Homo-oligomer: A and B are copies of this chain.
Amino acid sequence: MLRGVLANKEQYQPGLSIDCVIFGFHDNQLKVLLIKTKYNEQWALPGGFVSVDESIDEGAVNVLHGRTGLKGIFLRQFATFGQVNRNPTTFSDSVLQFYGIDKEQATWYRSRFVTIGYYALVDFLQAVPQPEGNNEIVEWIDCNAVPDLILDHKEIFDKALDTLRMELNLVPVGYNLLPEKFTIPELQKLYETILGRKLDRRNFLRKITSIGILTKLDEKKSNVAHKAPNLYSFDKERYEEVLKIGLHQGW
């Protein structure tokens, strides 16, 4: 569950952890990467501690890389969770022994942790879940069927999904998630899958084209019975620009 479970605790920032909500999209499905040990039923977000010599952002990148093999993926910090009793500080010796945690480490696990949440959106076919040791299970699980999670991880997941949906109003998404050439209905399906609701076709077309990140190609989708839709690609330069300055819809 936590990067560095058996490592020397003095190399980590005390009382601080990172949890990553890694969303995977492919073929109109939105999933989240969850892990659990063979020993218990509850799932958890992949997470870890922060080394004394790495920034919190670097810590998040290392968690993501460790669990998916992915590098260079955009990770966004979205909130820090710090309720007093968010992690149990009353673990009994026997519970900790069950997980192979010795007495000295027990003090560490019994301290209060504040956790920083990061999220990423990746193509789940490109990310290979990487268990840490033999007793861990790492899986992509449908966002509509998230099981019981440990601690406040459900709250962290919900907040990440809310943030992702809200950010659709602020930055473009789609690059790395759609094939290089795609149709407007395919792009709309991506937005609908993230938002969890249907969108009006004409409104979507108007809004998405007004951003100016799409290049209309002189090609039509093949293998389509009739009225083949046009193919588009992202104007990468303009896309990056809008990522930086934001959509600035609004005032």
Binding site for B on A (CB under 8 A): 13-16, 50, 52-57, 59, 77, 79-80, 82-84, 112, 114, 116, 166, 168-170, 191, 195, 199, 203-204, 207, 246-251
Contacts and interface: CB of A to CB of B under 8 A. Distances in A.
B249 A169 contact: yes
B80 A169 contact: no
Given A15-B16, A16-B114, A166-B246, 12 more contacts: A13-B15, A16-B16, A50-B82, A56-B80, A59-B82, A77-B80, A80-B80, A80-B116, A169-B170, A169-B250, A195-B251, A203-B251
Q: Report the copy number of this chain in the oligomer.
A: 2
B77 A79 contact: yes
Contact of A112 (B52, B77, B203, B207): B52
A160 to B, nearest CB: 14
A98 to B, nearest CB: 27
A170 B251 CA distance: 11
A111 to B, nearest CB: 9
A251 B199 contact: yes
Question: Which residue, A13, A14, A168, A248, has most C-beta atoms of chain B within 10 A?
Answer: A13
